[in-house]
Amino acid sequence: MNKASKPAYRRILLKLSGESLLGSLPYGIDVITADSIARDIKDIQDLGVQVAIMIGGGNIFRGVRGTEAGMDRASADYMGLLATIMNAIALQDALERAGCICRHISAIDVKSVAEPFIPRRVVRHLEKGRIVIFSAGLGSPYFTTDTASALRALEIQADVIFKATKVDGAYSADPMKDKSAKKFTTISHEEVLQKGLQVMDTTAFTLCRENKMPIVIFSLKKKGQMKKAVLGERVGTTIS
């Protein structure tokens, strides 16, 4: 591997929203989109990077929507967690068809499709070159997959959290609604708090700030952004 292609990170945790699997569909999983994401992930693994993924479930069911409609919060959250398991199965299938060796780790016991979360075993999978997909968040209601991402990243001693979103970084306001919103290229954890930026939920962000976990936010829609971020090139927003 030449110097130009040397990755900046040894081990990453990639946070993918369930919506990232939608493609052009209004609901569910678009297989073509899943295949495209899998190829992007394989590209960075081919650089020698150890990859863990936390998948959301918003393309199938989002707990907060159920709560807003009158459902019990815990029941709605559990439905959202089960949706992430379906997404993880789909993503695992796409990664394996792309030529990757992959392990699905669920925080809810589903022995026929996933392994339980055992930190040392997960680290061993990563060291052996296997991609790890985390599903079911932390296995409990009231905790988002953002919080699960932060905690799992710390438990597996990841170097960074990559958060793939609809927009290409952190902005001073919602760029979809405010055309004058300013994009931040680099920003500190403290500045994010001071400016009130909505990067992650409060619990997740506090975990990252207290443990000095850097976060790179980039657009999944822009081809090659993930690889550029892994190589240390400036993409999206880096919070450190």
For 104-132, the pLDDT digits (tens) are 999 999 999 999 999 999 999 999 999 99
Going from the C-alpha of 133 to that of each of 84, 113, 162, 238, the distances in angstroms are: 10, 12, 14, 23
Counting the structural domains of the chain, the total is 1
> Residues 128-140: pLDDT tens digits?
999 999 999 999 9
Question: What's the rounded mean pLDDT across residues 89-93?
Answer: 98
The band of 194, judged by pLDDT with boundaries at 50, 70 and 90, is confident
Please report, for the domain that includes residue 229, its CATH number: 3.40.1160.10
Question: What's the rounded mean pLDDT across residues 149-160?
Answer: 97
Q: How far apart are CA 114 and CA 125, in angstroms?
A: 14
Q: How far apart are CA 212 and CA 17, in angstroms?
A: 23
> Residues 15-52: pLDDT tens digits?
999 999 998 899 999 999 999 999 999 999 999 999 99
Q: How far apart are CA 34 and CA 15, in angstroms?
A: 14
Q: Which domain holds residue 144?
A: 3-239
pLDDT of residue 152: 98
Beta bridge partners of residue 53, listed in sequence order: 14, 133
Q: Does the pLDDT at position 220 exceed 90?
A: no
| pTM assigned to the model | 0.93
